[in-house]
Amino acid sequence: MDRSYRHISVDPVAPAIGAAVSGVDLSRPLPDEVFSEIEQAFHDHIALFFREQVLSPNQQVAFAARFGPIGHYPFAEPVDGNPDVIAIIKEAHQTTNFGGIWHTDTAYLDCPSMGSMLYARQVPSVGGDTMWSNMYAAYGALSGGMKKLLSGLSGVNSAAKNKDALRMNHLEDGAMTGKDADHMDEQMAVHPIVRTHPQTGRKSLYISEAHTICFDGMTRAESAPILDYLFAHAIKEEFTCRFRWTENTLAVWDNRCALHYPLNDYHGYRREMHRVTLQGDKPA
């Protein structure tokens, strides 16, 4: 999107989604006019990347709080000294990475997270990229008939779907501290398959291969053909970007209109990220 900024520089990393933001030091309090431009870029590009930012956990939380109230991820303990930050770590000996499937965070909550903020403390010398996909674009590319069909459907989202591969094997292997794993099977929520963004007013697909198990009122077998099509459609190359991490890079993205996928191609290397969750509201 061609937009002029007075206080920051915004450079898209791909046509569909993602932009690198420079000219700002996130370790310091930001004037309102500077944050206003960051927020506009957030709505325009969905995922923002800030390189060369030296941040403490408290400074990361302070920046996150400019977007809105801080939320919490229910199945991991926070880092020592800050209840709002969790450490996402893959040790060199591990082969499973945390969240290693296309997803939007916490779709299984009644009020899923509005966004997520991830800060790179240690990254592998090769590999470990993350991909994002634009769900506005994915919805817009559907046929009129499919849009009409989906307009009346809601999805059932479960924390337990893929839990063995995505969470508990990793949490139990010593790199992260898990909690309340016995409640994963109970954590479910129903949300519209097509949601309207409360700020932009735009419609997007709201599905997650990691969490959406069926359409509300339908069986899994009945739902599978359409859901499988949507899962594949949502991550078409033209909707995505791929981002190469460097240490001290911070990313923030909008879970209401994006999927993301951390690649697991760096066995033998250690990776440590700090995540802050942004509180959301009930999808509509």
Tell me the CA distances in angstroms from 214 to 79, 158, 188, 194, 266, one per residue in order. Answer: 35, 10, 12, 14, 33
Catalytic residue among 45, 170, 191, 275, which?
275
Answer whether 99's CB lies under 8 Å from 113's CB. Answer: no
2 is catalytic: no
Tell me the CA distances in angstroms from 176 to 52, 58, 79, 136, 179, one per residue in order. Answer: 25, 20, 10, 33, 10
Nearest to 126 by CA among 2, 225, 269: 269
Catalytic residue among 45, 84, 105, 256, which?
105
Tell me the C-alpha distance between 83 and 71, whole Å. Answer: 10
103 is catalytic: yes
274 is catalytic: no
End-to-end CA distance of the chain: 26
Strand residues in 30-175 grouped as ranges (E):
47-50, 70-71, 86-90, 115-122, 130-134, 154-158
105 is catalytic: yes
Catalytic residue among 103, 191, 211, 271, which?
103
Catalytic residue among 170, 191, 260, 271, which?
260
Kindly tell me the number of DSSP H helices and DSSP E strands found in the chain.
7, 16
Q: Are strands 19-22 and 47-50 parallel, antiparallel or unpaired?
A: parallel
Nearest to 3 by CA among 49, 32, 51, 39: 39
Which are the catalytic amino acids? 103, 105, 260, 275
